[in-house]
Amino acid sequence: MENNQNHNKNTKNDKRGWILVLVITLITGFMVLSVFDFAGNATSKEISYDEFLDMVEEGKVEEVAIGNDKLVITPKEENKEKDLLSLFTPDIQVTYYTGVVEDSTLYARLYAAGVKFYSEIPDTASALFWNFILTVVLPFGAIFLFMSFMMKKMSKGGGLMGIGKSNAKMYVEKETGVTFKDVAGQDEAKESLQEVVDFLHNPKKYTDVGAKLPKGALLVGPPGTGKTLLAKAVAGEAKVPFFSVSGSEFVEMYVGVGASRVRDLFKQAQAMAPCIVFIDEIDAIGKSRDNALGSNDEREQTLNQILAEMDGFDTGKGLLLLAATNRPEVLDPALLRPGRFDRRIIVDKPDLKGRVDTLKVHSKDVRMDETVDLEAIALATSGAVGSDLANMINEAAINAVKHGRQVVSQSDLFEAVEVVLVGKEKKDRIMNAEERRIVSYHEVGHALVSALQKDAEPVQKITIVPRTMGALGYVMQTPEEEKYLNTKKELDAMMIGLLAGRAAEEIVFDTVTTGASNDIERATKLARAMVTQYGMSEHFGLMGLESVQNRYLDGRAVLNCGEATASEIDKEVMKMLKVAYEEAKRLLLENRAALDKIAAFLIEKETITGKEFMEIFRQVNDDAEALFEEE
């Protein structure tokens, strides 16, 4: 290691020496040229032709050298001008010059005035020599030196201007600052990676049995689940050098640059083995090569070089390649075969316990009071990933400071959940009285139908305060426990609840508004999934009609049927939505008194809790029962 550092240091010093010599040479050349130019300008002065003739008539000229383009006049000693340069260099001859004019009487005048005159014979050989030096030798010499310097740099693996050199950031031993304690909610992924760490610590225990260290492990999961954090934790636990690079850093415009960077990265890694190389977003260079054109572009050459390097290095040295992606379906099969990325480690969204553990990790440095219940927050954030939960904790801390408190309360956490899910309150958006009534009945319609259905989730909060993400109001519902499956009854109840807002508008105002657009979109998506994916349609039965693509990103579904079948699907979805809407209207009509009373209370308060909502609902039911008994 020390020899390599000294070699690199000497190489840098040599390069700096070459650059210094080149700069000094250029500066010296410019100075010499400037001195000659200055001296020439200082000892020779241009005069007009008539001034020259006057000097000849007055007897002030000693001699005249007649050239092709000018006359060089040497004055007599007593007529020389004294300048600054002549004071310090008295041997320098002071002359004048003027242009050549067609004057047939010039020679006679010079002869009559006793002036010595002669014609200069041009030194063509010397002129050609200096012209060749200045126009050919110096430029080509400078180009030769520059190219020699660049080729020497490229031969050492740096490439032209460092373009082929790896940009990987290296963290040595514990410099990542992350261990498995900092990663929560991914117990299965940590268990798989713990075996890799143990192999790097105790390789003999495995090699004695005949086991080999996996060459590569692929971390797969949605964005924000902690794939990069897990890779850093592996390096922190193993206490080995950790090279981190993004897949996009290998992709360049020039073909061959990415492959050069791959070679340089593996060369550095093998010199530092045992170590870990982490390539984030590997799908940037690892996309499948089965395209119709069969082009051999920069990305393909880079991928080929990675495949070759993974086949070439010795696992006995303890070199492990980790990669992360959220698009495993687009990766090239050669990259995923055994012997390359042997392991696929799923880093999925955390479950309830995982969310609680993640909240504890991110809140360990945050001051909280006794009202905080992280399990309730975890229940309210089903489907959230680690980055979402970290953001919620941070938003809660900011909210506490904004309200002048030094500790975070449960209300701060729930408000942070709302900020992340539906945005901040828009206090400057003021709705008129009619719009407030419509939004109030709309939201109470959702909440009331949820309360009337056995398979619906309980209501946590109702508000008609507009939010920055476009919602004019919303109902927050939190499940009582974590669920991994939904029954058909639960999905039907969910669909009825989504359409209950529009049903309330029609019942109360005898018209409908644009406020139900998102509800209709979600209900339609749910009904379509029940028909095409879940086999919950009487018409199609167990037939799978859609497949999900990009499962870890948007989860977009693509139809796998003909146009006639697609038309039948639309009809079935329309039928299911119509039945759900009629059921929502029936429930609200039967409980019109509760709808009116809760909506009036919400208009007055703007925000009510699930507890207040249920108290009013039970009170109306009790009053109705008492009235019925009296009759």
C-alpha–C-alpha distance, residues 144 and 146, integer Å:
5
Smallest CA-to-CA distance from 470 within 426, 504, 411 is with: 426
The runs of H, that is alpha helices, within 257-297 are: 257-272
C-alpha–C-alpha distance, residues 626 and 613, integer Å:
20
DSSP H/E element including 325: strand 319-325
Nearest-10 Cα torsion for 129, 135, 138, 142: -160
Q: Is 185 helix (H, G, I), strand (E, B) or coil?
A: coil
Smallest CA-to-CA distance from 319 within 271, 263, 247 is with: 271
Q: Which of 443, 457, 505, 583 is catalytic?
A: 443
Identify any residues that bridge with 86 across adjacent strands, giving them in sequence order.
Answer: none
C-alpha–C-alpha distance, residues 168 and 119, integer Å:
72
DSSP H/E element including 38: helix 2-43
Cβ neighbours around 108 below 10 Å, total = 10
Cα of 145 vs its chain's centroid, Å: 40
Q: Residue 122 — φ and ψ, nearest 5°?
A: -65, 135
Note if the bond before 274 is cis, omega within 30 degrees.
Answer: yes
Q: Is 443 annotated in the active site?
A: yes
Q: What is the largest CA-CA distance in the chain?
A: 153
Cβ neighbours around 575 below 10 Å, total = 15
Helices 563-590 and 592-605 meet at what angle, rounded to 10?
Answer: 90
C-alpha–C-alpha distance, residues 352 and 257, integer Å:
46
Give the Å distances, CA to CA, from 47 to 44, 50, 95, 102: 10, 8, 10, 17
Smallest CA-to-CA distance from 192 within 320, 88, 94 is with: 320
Q: Are 151 and 215 in contact (CB under 8 A)?
A: no
Q: Which residues are the active-site residues?
A: 443
